[in-house]
Structure 1
Amino acid sequence: MSANSAEPAAIVEVVLVKAGRTKIRYPAELVHDDGTRIVVRAPWAGEGVRDFGFVRFEPGDVFTESYWRDRWYSVKEVRDGKGALKGWYCDITRPAALSGAELVVEDLDLDLWRSADGSAVLRLDEDEFAASGLARTDPDAATAAVRALDSLELLAREGGFEALLV
């Protein structure tokens, strides 16, 4: 482990920031940190059920979340309370930062969903991304975000995220 890593089995607070404000924060078990990729596991942290139409996140669901210090996305494996895979929800983010017991991630609005069987690969929230003004205020970050979404979509269509998560 590097100087930036933490011991497994520790609890970290995941802090998702959007447009300069904390969107959500929740405790998660630190599963892995190799200095580049950080993996945490946490139950669904939202209030009640969130039905997106293509998937429902609900109490009992478990998210195994991979964040990178050098990549512009996170990949979250979603399983129901019985362990059945629902799919992967990916957030386009700035690279993650683990400081002490806080894992801070800045959400850049773009998302991707891949169903467990691979039949659905959906780009999400492109309208929110356009409305955010990031292309105007930070064009380099906007370019990195779109490239990250394109890369994740290609991986999702070519078979999934397993190679990323090894």
Structure 2
Amino acid sequence: MSANSAETAAPMDVVLVKAGRTKIRYPAELLHDDGSRITVRAAWAGEGVRDFGFVRFEPGDVFTEHYWRDRWYAVKEVRDKQGRLKGWYCDITRPATVSGSELVVEDLDLDLWRSADGTAVLRLDEDEFAASGLASRDPEAAAAALSALDELELLAKGGNFEALLH
């Protein structure tokens, strides 16, 4: 299934699960699903402004989010309300699943930020990941998560990062 215009974009809910509970659910438009990669577009779903120090997410921001059924990460392109690229926020997750009109993703705490110009690549939340206990509960998943973070970091620092999204 592929949707490329507003007339054909299908509504979908993105459900982000963390530690067995729904962390956030928000509406999105399904733009593309080729059986492996799923792309949706959504407005910033957080409350007000979230300032990370290296980027601010705020009302009016638009996220084009790429999820995979066979990869342990999601890549979210972030643009401001004028359409200017802020960068890419990447979540390390279990592979995505789709059930009806729900896209379900389990967040594994690790994140990566890549600035719009590619000069800043930041590994985030490694302390949260260590504290989550995933390494002892599910060592295979923890290893897959760390491997996915390493892969994204290499791509973000000079590999073919943007090719992931096309």
* TM surpasses 0.5: yes
**Which residue is equivalent to 2:64?**
64
- 1:4-42 Cα offsets, whole Å, 9 max, x none, are xxxx51100000000001000000000000000000000
4+ residue runs over 6 A deviation: none
The CA deviation at 1:162 is 1.3
Matched, 1:99 2:102: no
Whole-Å Cα distance in 1 between the matches of residues 95 and 48 of structure 2? 29
Query: Contact 1:30 / 1:40 at 8 angstroms: preserved in 2?
Result: yes
- What displacement does 1:160 show? 5.6
Residues 95-114 of structure 1 deviation map (CA, whole Å, 9 limit, x = unaligned): 00011000000000000000
Residue type of the partner of 2:20? G
Q: Number of residues paired by the alignment?
A: 161
Deviation of 1:161 after TM superposition, in Å, equals: 2.4
- Quick one: which amino acid aligns to residue 162 of structure 1? E
Contact 1:30 1:39 in 2 (8 A): yes
CA RMSD of aligned residues (A): 1.2
Is the 8 Å Cα contact of residues 118 and 160 (structure 1) preserved in structure 2?
no
**TM-score scaled by length of structure 1:** 0.95
- Contact in 2 for aligned 1:18/1:106 (Cα 8 Å): yes
Q: Once the 2 structures are TM-superposed, how far is the Cα of residue 119 of structure 1 from its aligned partner?
A: 1.3
Structure 2 partner of 1:134? 134
Aligned residues: percent identity? 83
Give the Cα separation in 2 of the matches to 1:126 and 1:16.
19
The structure-2 alpha-carbon separation of the partners of 1:86 and 1:160, relative to structure 1 and needing over 3 Å to count, comes to farther
AA aligned to 1:55 is V
How far off is 1:130 after superposition?
0.2
Comparing 131-140 with 155-164, greater Cα deviation is found at 155-164
SS of the counterpart of 1:164? helix
1:118–1:159 contact (8 Å) kept in structure 2: no
* Alpha-carbon distance between aligned partners in 1 of 2:78 and 2:10, rounded to the nearest angstrom: 21
Write the distance in 2 (CA, Å) between the matches of 1:159 and 1:145. 19
Distance in 2 between residues matched to 1:132 and 1:71, nearest whole Å: 21
TM-score, L = length of structure 2: 0.95
User: What is the SS of the residue equivalent to 2:130?
Assistant: helix
Q: Which runs of 5+ in 2 are unaligned?
A: 3-7
1:29–1:42: 8 Å Cα contact kept in structure 2? yes
- Structure 1 residues 87-166: aligned runs within 5 Å: 87-158=87-158, 161-166=161-166
